[in-house]
Structure 1
């Protein structure tokens, strides 16, 4: 598989990614980063998206149902050299399905996640995964 995106920026302003039929704005100045995500936050967003995509994928393969998920991803960064050193994610899956095997799901996320596997080569990843009843779902869109 191959991937391609387009990006553009305006001097002293912001920038945007053009991905398929979506534009995703991001900050490239200290002023634009106040209201728009910066590149590090987009990176963490890609990591989270990879995990969420794999939950959807494996819910079909593992034959469990869920009503939604919440994920919080945090990272630590060093300045010299500038890079992420530690990523921690806190994942909540809303499900009443007894077929949801969290340990197997976590193993599959770690084995088959493209972004996950790319990131784990350069920094440590830790996680907390919990399952709550579907009626406890408080996802905001």
Structure 2
């Protein structure tokens, strides 16, 4: 009988501080949350958190495969824009640009992008519910 692969579990706790904000805790980290109906410039709102999670997923995916592929890079930047639909409320579309500072050939950049799209947990959770599209390109 084949073994069932181990599943990773994650836990986050969020608490309302007042009508202007909340805070999320995970491990020994805290993230301020913009839960104010008027908005807050000092914290990520839920949609921005989703986009930040997607960006972190992409960067972490790159970090995971860089040693496997023996891929040399100096820097990675991810830029993400999301369009929110009102009725029903959802992220209608998300466009991203992954910018990699590297001397690797173009075919290796394509391989890196393939790994990001195939093996990212958040990427593959968001993709079925939104028009998710983007590019991985070399820094100029």
TM tier, shorter chain?
0.7 to 0.9
Task: Give unpaired runs (5+ residues) of structure 2.
Answer: 1-7
Residue 36 of structure 1 corresponds to which residue in structure 2? 43
Residue 137 of structure 1 corresponds to which residue in structure 2? none
CA RMSD of aligned residues (A): 1.6
Using structure 1 for the length normalisation, give the TM-score.
0.87
| Structure 1 residues 81 and 22: CA distance shift in structure 2, 3 A | same
Task: Give unpaired runs (5+ residues) of structure 1.
Answer: 134-141
1:113 and 1:62 mapped to 2: Cα distance? 16
Using structure 2 for the length normalisation, give the TM-score.
0.88
Which of residues 16, 25, 34 in structure 1 aligns to 2:23? 16
Residue 130 of structure 1 corresponds to which residue in structure 2? 137
Give deviations 1:58-92, integer Å, cap 9, x for gaps. 11111111111111100111100000011100111
Q: CA deviation at 1:19?
A: 1.3
Q: CA deviation at 1:99?
A: 8.6
Point out 4+ residue stretches in structure 1 off by more than 4 angstroms: none
Aligned residue for 1:58, secondary structure, equals: helix
1:99 and 1:65 mapped to 2: Cα distance? 13
Which of residues 88, 94, 102 in structure 1 aligns to 2:95? 88
Q: CA deviation at 1:128?
A: 2.1
Please state if 1:55 is matched with 2:66.
no
Which of residues 63, 69, 72 in structure 2 aligns to 1:65? 72
2:92 and 2:38 mapped to 1: Cα distance? 26
